[in-house]
Amino acid sequence: MAHNLSETKGKPAMMYTGEKPWHGLGTKLEKAATAAEAIAAAGLDWRVTKEPIYLKDGRMIPGRYATVREDNRSILGSVGEVYRPLQNKEAFSFFDAVVGSKEAIYHTAGALGQGERVWILAKLPGEIVVTKQDVTEKYLLLTNTHDASSAVAMLFTPIRVVCQNTLNVALEAGAERQTVRHTVNMGLKVADVAHGLGIVHQRFEAFGEAARAMTGAKMGGEAWREFLRGCGIIPADEAKALTTRTQNIVNEIGALFEKGRGNDLPGVKHTAWGAFNAVAEYVDYARSSKGDKEEGRATSLLFGSGAKLKQRAWDTAFDLVGGKLKG
């Protein structure tokens, strides 16, 4: 499946509010959900067990366990002795404890692969005003894996209202992410992460400051080519002829830079902010899924090659305004 969404009882394991996702799958709710509503709608109401692994001759492999979905017995991964599964319901409770709310704040939730990665998107209060007509809302993304491939993590994820671009970028290396390892002491770390939420609020302020600075950086001609080179979209060596595929990508992003959703707003058109959003819209809506067969389209957008392309676009646009703003 190009979307890489997990399934629960034959249905895609995802819920969403607002605009239909690019893949048109998942259960739509008319308004933001509570934890219980989101878990049910996203098909995440299953548990994970940790079970011994045996060789064919019946011997148990010491210190190694399989993580298994109880509902369909899918094997999600191989983990060690100290690994503690964070159940999906616990993850929502974990998020409630961090953001200080048990209200209807969840906008998207789902699982990827066989269920080895789960994500939850919650809206925080307040907005980032870039220009009078260009507003970005504050979201926090929690991701959890059931295969020990990563810790429980929370990522800073603004979403641009006018076009619903997900602008999940790091302002500094590692600064946007708060993590907790899967151990028996996991619950004791919630307070530490909640304290770290103050840092997340600082990141939102820094993001807004940088975005507003980008609106003051006009872009055209050579600056546009420099931006594309910085993103890795075109090669640094201009002597190399562009392949047909690369030229098509350049044309698509160029069209979004000119007429993408929100890029014709006063103060946005032909700026570094517009350039960054052209790449974000390309990744979220226009980019071919052919290059995502290995990781899956949804994985790419949230965590993989698509997210990395947006990060390069942010870093390049940030450099164009001097790169002096820090969170």
Is the pLDDT at 143 greater than 60? The verdict is yes
pLDDT-derived band at 21, boundaries 50, 70, 90: low
Q: What is the DSSP string of 141-198?
A: EEEEESSSSS-EEEEE--EETTT--B----SSTTTTEEEE-SSTTGGGGHHHHHHHHH
Q: Ranked by mean pLDDT, which of 19-28, 162-171, 290-299 comes out on top?
A: 162-171
**Prediction pTM value:** 0.80
**Amino acid at position 89, single letter:** K
CA distances from 298 to 55, 152, 218, 278, 289 (A): 34, 18, 33, 19, 10
Q: How far apart are CA 286 and CA 135, in angstroms?
A: 22
Rounded to 5°, angle at Cα 287 from 284 and 293: 100
CA-nearest of 149, 164, 147 to 85 is 147
CA-nearest of 91, 90, 119 to 5 is 119
State pLDDT tens for residues 27-83. 999 988 888 899 999 999 999 999 999 999 999 999 999 999 999 999 999 999 999
- Where along the chain do its domains lie? 7-196, 211-320
